[in-house]
Structure 1
Amino acid sequence: QALGIKALAFRRYSEALGELSELSDLIQQCLADGKTFRREQTEHITPDGSHRELGVTISPIRRAQEKATGAICLLSDLTELTALQKQMQLRENLAALGELSAGIAHEFKNALATISGYAQMIQSEPNAADTVENAKKILDQTRSITHVVTEFLRYARPLEISEEPVELRVLLDRTVCEILELQPQVRISIEGNFSAIAGDEGLLRQVFLNLARNAAEAAASNSPNPAVILRGETSESSEDRTQRIRILDNGPGIPIEALAKLFRPFFTTKVNGTGLGLAVVQKILLQHGGQVEAQNRVGGGAEFIVTLPATRTISQAVESKEVTI
């Protein structure tokens, strides 16, 4: 019934399913190599031309070490479930688009209201003493709009990630030097273990520069002895090694009501922030197969935790990527 085929008895699988069928290919691999497939999802075209999404588990039938003489196939019709998932994804995408649109409209509306107000003042009193100052404020607002558009495009455009070896310790050393030029009063230290990962050095630099700069600014605004720690941890507990980088500060911490919204586009706790910095950070890390979390420290301050897949060599990472593709 799931296949839309009435008679299967005494028919070769490739004849019943078609030589080019994805399901035929899985069965052929199972018979040839004795390979087991668990919880695979594949598309199947029935004889009447309709498309179905199937959940597939295939196990070889053999005695001892002999070559497979047959295969057991367990099929589940996931067509309705897949359609429902696509509908939910579409709704989520539309909701996200609406949220983005509302954020952009809010930023533009505020800036345009300011520009309009100062322009009317200049128009009504062109020779007033504060005309030059009002014109400067209009220019500031246009720069602000340009900045918002630039940040939004950076967030919205697809990322082209190069695959190269990135030495995290070297990258963080350079990041700290850049931040100390802007916040020389903040003590920034790097500790722990760091491995080489496969990724885009320029984009990862953007991630850590953003997070460490935020931490330094928070610490500088709250403590007489502002400090930031970048702590590296590597996990050897499984085949999939991970690199964790913790960015800790002794700033005021994150308001409880803001924690769940930190990575939403256009949400910001800064007076002059665009609310896109952390959204871009999250996007870059997700594209690298990683993630970012935020929490408050027990003793005060905030902690951002970046987790990335670690690789022993770049060739292993590239090989893994090729297999996935």
Structure 2
Amino acid sequence: MRQRWPHGLLVVCSCWKTVAAEATSQVVFDYLWPIHISKVPLSTPGVEAMEPPEFGQALAELALSGFEDYVNKTLPLELKLDADFAEEFHGADHSRVNLAFRRWQRRVYAYANRDIYPESQLSADVLEGGWQSEFLAGGWARSMPLKEVNYSWPQLRQSSEFRKLQSHISELAKLYLKRSGSSFGNKFRIFTWAEVFRKGDALRPSAHTDGGLFMGRYWPQLKKNSLKFNFEDPRGINPPFGKTHTHSIEEGAMSMFPIWASHFITPNMKSRTAVCYAFIVYPEDGNTMDFEDDGTGKFKIERVPLK
């Protein structure tokens, strides 16, 4: 684990009574509420990685193909048939295409997991619907799925590379949760969605509280220094806080972090398109975890400083 917030809250617990006591007392540093970020080279070229670079290339091609198909065929249909969505889309920022793509993929995931997200459960009323797929990965869709739209992506879901990616995420989830001091068994539901950043594309700040265990991002295609993966200070915007931390990323790298950690992607400044697979790991029965049980929110580092 790497300490990512050197300016985190620091409590120095000490007990000073006499000069003699000062020489023998023990000082303990408690770093409260740090953000636990773990990064692994999943398919990074030139280093010892879990998979060869070709693994990432295959996943990047699948994401790009699906993205182009969505932008050219599905998105125009959604904008034509869904007035609420069209109004929201046309008033949105440079994140809107990827957010719309994620919205469609969220419904693809729901249809593939009907054992926990049955169609009868879907409701445009958030209070009536309760826990359902429309909560996943942020935001509440104001409109229902369209009968005219195909909510399936068999080319991705049936690919051996994607199944292997899901397997890696599941295994790394056990390690990440163990290091975070929490455990939710050995089986999970993993919602993985693709994001494509063409030149100038970015992703606005977001954080999630949808019953997930943690979140991650894998970059199968990324030109060096094309964009930045930034985290916002969870302590708020008022001085001396309000910092922004740039988390280093490379092609083929996978990073895992708390689901509540607000982050954003700066505009892609290169001509080469960047591809990211974002994912949220949920308990086996779906997005049901209470935020009070979130181990990443209770994470604390305690150490005795060197004398």
| TM-score calculated relative to the size of structure 1 | 0.24
Instruction: Kindly indicate whether structure 1 or structure 2 has the higher relative contact order, using CA contacts under 8 Å at least 6 residues apart.
Output: 2
Point out the structure with the larger helix share: 1
| TM-score calculated relative to the size of structure 2 | 0.25
